[in-house]
Structures are given as structure tokens and as C-alpha cells.
Amino acid sequence: MELKRRTFLQSTGKGIFSTSGILFTAQHARSAANDRIRHAVIGNGGQGRSHCKAFSRLDDCEVAAVCDVDPERRALAAETLPNSSHVAQYEDFHKILDDHSIDTVSIATPDHWHAPIAIMAILAGKHVYVEKPCCHTICEGKLLVEAAKKYNKCVQHGTQSRSGQGIIDAIKFMREGNLGEVRMAKAINHQLRKPIGRTPDATPPNSVNYDLWLGPAPLRPFSQNRWHYNWHWHWDYGTGDIGNDGIHQIDVARWGLGVGFPKTVTAIGGQLFYDDDHETPDTQVVTYEYDHCYLLYEMRLWTDYKLEGHDNGVVFYADKGVLEVGRNGCEVTFIGQPKKKIGEGSDFGENINNFVQCVKANDPSKLNAPIDEGFISASLCHLGNIGVRVGRKLHFNAEHCEIVNDSEANRFVGREYRAGYELPKI
Ligand SMILES: NC(=O)c1ccc[n+]([C@@H]2O[C@H](COP(=O)([O-])OP(=O)(O)OC[C@H]3O[C@@H](n4cnc5c(N)ncnc54)[C@H](O)[C@@H]3O)[C@@H](O)[C@H]2O)c1
């Protein structure tokens, strides 16, 4: 019956085997132009549950399955859905990839799982909404972009500001030259993130699949501080706050400046505040150098005041004035004139709606936050972290995906994948 419900697209690619032994092919994609999209949410923490709400709110979409290695979390996610008793609940995402009735997946797992699941989903014929940062390393992000392109899938990145009409209008205004030449943008991430203390190694809760949570990361004992949410602050799974929150500001700054990969990256950072299990910096300053402009990233995780007007935001400095993009929306100030609002509109729900409409049209070219742009912004975050870890200026060769003449820095451009969790070939 499911098969009659829709029309299958023609096969385009080679298959690979899932761990359950079922052949994935890119042919499983459906033409959903005349039907409701059946969506699955993989990773059901706070953000996964926001995905459940946003996808289920759309008339042309139904959340048919949720998936988490933690049964409490997948049950909680299913409960938030209007059709909760009909929602399939899975521990293992491979089962979702094997389910041909699922058209689209969204991935809201920890960062180290984003690209591997996204690539496998594309190979299984799904369109993908992947949370930011789309990759844990630059190399796997490049592979994800190649997979999306090769199999012509809609792959939207969770940098939802790209779908905020207010920001779209403000950036258009600036890029049309109304502020003159824009020579610098500052991406600001100032907030208070409380210390996490120290937690000992322990036994994982009985009900969860800790091995599948670890996935490609090295085998290590369980610890509360490396588990839900706090994984953000550990290099094996997370990308620090530059990849967590900073990526939103860096993405807007890069978009406004109209630039891609930088010529050089200079980063400094460390822990001036935390004395706990954090591995990632609480203070970080990165300068990205381009031919005609600079992009600056400034992060402090120990300031809960907003004395400078922005906690999270971007300021573009141009010859005739500044454009500010922040929690108050977008504001423009011409030299000697009062600040005025420019553009209005929301973003998260619209980013998801835009994804669903592109899937229905089977047209990745209309995505507001396409994966190739998401990949470049994620790479800027990774380069900012690599610069901190090696402590010197980096020259990045985007074409070869390598840091020039720096073998120590290049160790962080890719990663080792635990046996059984290697990246698939595309
Ligand atoms: N776009 C945004 O504004 C925004 C906001 C918040 C979070 N995020 C992103 O969403 C992601 C999730 O964030 P969170 O705060 O919900 O984290 P979280 O740790 O609370 O939730 C992640 C969930 O994924 C599950 N998981 C781990 N491995 C899995 C696997 N192999 N298969 C299925 N489930 C698995 C975990 O058990 C957990 O429940 C992060 O990458 C974060 O950066 C984006």
C-alpha cells in the first residue's frame, strides 16, 4: 500500500550495506510533490524535540518516527507529537534508514554523529535536515557536501538565521552597497555558561545504548559530564561553544560579507574561568583574513551582562555606518544619524518549512541554508579550534582540504573512526 501511495524516483547511485545487512540505494527517494512527507527525528534531546514540534506543525509533513539511544528521551519526544500512539520509536537509526516509507530525516544528535548519519541517510535515499555544525571534522563535512551533490538530495543546515526574513532583507540592503564598503564583521558570542564541575567515570544507565552513543568516537567509560548536553565541551564529541552557538554568528557574518574560506586564520583561546571537566575554551578570539575584509569572532562564556548591546550578534562595519544583527532584530546606523530597525521575521520554523518545500519540489537549489554553505561555516569553527589547539596562524587550502605545511594542525582536519563506525564510501 505504501508503495502505491507515491511514485519512486529512478535509481541513480550504487548501494551500500547497512549494519542490518539491508542494501541502501539512493533510489529510495520518493517524489513527495503530491503527498505528506513522512519525517523521522534522530536524536531526541532538547533540540530534537524542537524538531518534532516544528515538523509536525506543518500541514504537509508528518513525524512518523523518533529515534534515540536513550529510551526515556525517545518516549518523551513521541509524547509531544499529535499522533503519538502511531509514532514508531527506534533505538538504532539504521532501522529508520532501512524504512522506505520515511522520506526525510533530521539529525539532532551530538556533533560527532552529524555527518556520518547524514551521509548514510543520503545513501539510503533520504533528504536530510542536519543540525549545526554539520560535521565534527572538515574532512567528513567535505564528504557530506559531495554526497548531497552526487545524489541530488536536499540537505539543509541548522543555521536557521538564513531563513529569517528580517536578516535576509538587512543583508540584501547591505550587500546592495547602501552602507558603502564593508571591511569588517564581528561575530559576538558573550554569555554566562556555568562551570560543570567534575564527574567520575561511572556505569552508563542500564537502559541506554552507550556504545551507539559513542559511535565513531574512541571507547571510553561513561561519565555524566561527557553525556547529554555536556558532551559539547569535549573534543571527542563536541566543538566547544564556537561550534555550538558561535556558528550562528559566524555564518551570518560570512553571509553578510559574501565570503567563503579564509586565506588565513589566527586564533587564541583557553580557559580563563573554568576549572572543571571542560576541554574546550571559555574564551576565544579568532581572526579570519580575506582579500578585502576581516571576520572577527569574539567569545566569552563568563559574562552575563549585555553592556555592549549584544550577547549573541553580528556587527558589520562599513564606510557609511554599521549594521547590527542581534536579539533585537536588525538595526542600521548611518554615521551621525539615529539607529533604525530594518527587516522583520522569524527563522527556526521557517528554515524547516523551506526544507520541506524544497523536498516536495525535489529542488535543493532553493534551500535557504544549503549544506555547502553550512559546511564552510562549520569549517571556520573547526579552523578556529585548530588554531587554538596548535597555537599558530593557519593557512588553509580549501581545494585540498588541508592546512598548508602544518602536519600537527592537519591531524585535526580529519579524525580516527572507531572500528565498525567508519564513514561509508560514497
Ligand atoms: N539550531 C539551533 O539553534 C540548535 C539549538 C540547540 C541545539 N542544536 C544542535 O542540536 C544538537 C543536539 O543538541 P541537544 O542540546 O539536543 O543535545 P542533547 O545531548 O541533549 O541531545 C542529543 C540526543 O541525541 C541522542 N543520541 C546520541 N547518539 C545517538 C545516535 N547514534 N542515535 C540516536 N540518538 C542519539 C542522545 O541520547 C541525546 O538524547 C547539537 O548538535 C546542537 O548543536 C541546534
Binning pLDDT at 50, 70 and 90, where does residue 198 land? very high
For strands 264-270 and 394-397, give the pairing.
antiparallel
Distance 110 CA to ligand 1 centre (A): 5
Q: Which amino acid is at 109?
A: T
Do 49 and 92 lie in a common domain? Answer: yes
Do 334 and 225 lie in a common domain? Answer: yes
C-alpha to C-alpha distance for 359 and 352, rounded to whole angstroms? 11
In the predicted model, what is the mean pLDDT of residues 349-371? 97
**Total of domains in the chain:** 2
Please report whether residue 120 resides in a domain. Answer: yes
Distances (CA, A) of 39 to 51, 72, 105, 348: 10, 20, 6, 17
Distances (CA, A) of 29 to 12, 65, 131, 270: 10, 17, 21, 45
Do 173 and 315 lie in a common domain? Answer: yes
Does residue 15 register a pLDDT over 50?
Answer: no
Please report whether residue 420 resides in a domain. Answer: no
Q: What is the CATH number of the domain that holds 403?
A: 3.30.360.10
Binning pLDDT at 50, 70 and 90, where does residue 79 land? very high
Do 233 and 312 lie in a common domain? Answer: yes
Does residue 188 register a pLDDT over 60?
Answer: yes
pLDDT for position 310? 81
Does residue 18 register a pLDDT over 70?
Answer: no
Q: Which range of residues forms the domain containing residue 297?
A: 165-197+211-345+377-410
Distance 131 CA to ligand 1 centre (A): 8
Q: Which residue owns the Cα nearest ligand 1 atom 17?
A: 229
Look at residue 205 and give its three-state secondary structure.
coil
Do 10 and 128 lie in a common domain? Answer: yes
Binning pLDDT at 50, 70 and 90, where does residue 82 land? very high
To test ligand 1's pocket by mutation, which of 41, 44, 47 has the most ligand atoms within 8 angstroms of CB?
47
To test ligand 1's pocket by mutation, which of 55, 68, 350 has the most ligand atoms within 8 angstroms of CB?
68
Distance 45 CA to ligand 1 centre (A): 5
Find the Cα–Cα–Cα–Cα dihedral 315, 316, 317, 321, rounded to 10°. -90
C-alpha to C-alpha distance for 369 and 355, rounded to whole angstroms? 9
Length of the chain: 426
Binning pLDDT at 50, 70 and 90, where does residue 422 land? very high
Q: Which amino acid is at 160?
A: Q
Do 135 and 190 lie in a common domain? Answer: no
Maximum C-alpha span of the chain: 67
Do 118 and 190 lie in a common domain? Answer: no
Distance 397 CA to ligand 1 centre (A): 31
Do 218 and 151 lie in a common domain? Answer: no
Do 257 and 355 lie in a common domain? Answer: no
Q: Which residue owns the Cα nearest ligand 1 atom 38?
A: 45
Q: To the nearest 5 percent, what fractions of the chain are helix, strand and coil?
A: 35, 25, 40
Do 319 and 233 lie in a common domain? Answer: yes
For strands 61-67 and 37-42, give the pairing.
parallel
Q: Which residue owns the Cα nearest ligand 1 atom 20?
A: 45
Distance 69 CA to ligand 1 centre (A): 11
pLDDT for position 12? 31
Q: Which residue owns the Cα nearest ligand 1 atom 43?
A: 244
Q: Is the CB of 153 under 6 A from ligand 1?
A: no
Closest CA to 170 of 87, 277, 72, 253: 253
Q: Please check whether residue 279 is in contact with residue 417, taking contact to mean a CB–CB distance below 8 angstroms.
A: no
Please report whether residue 244 resides in a domain. Answer: yes
C-alpha to C-alpha distance for 296 and 287, rounded to whole angstroms? 5
Q: Is the CB of 246 under 6 A from ligand 1?
A: no
Q: Is the CB of 131 under 6 A from ligand 1?
A: yes
Look at residue 26 and give its three-state secondary structure.
helix
Q: What is the CATH number of the domain that holds 361?
A: 3.40.50.720
Q: For 313-329, what is each residue's pLDDT tens digit? A: 999 999 999 999 998 89
Do 143 and 173 lie in a common domain? Answer: no
Q: Which residue has the higher pLDDT, 29 or 383?
A: 383
Q: Which amino acid is at 111?
A: D
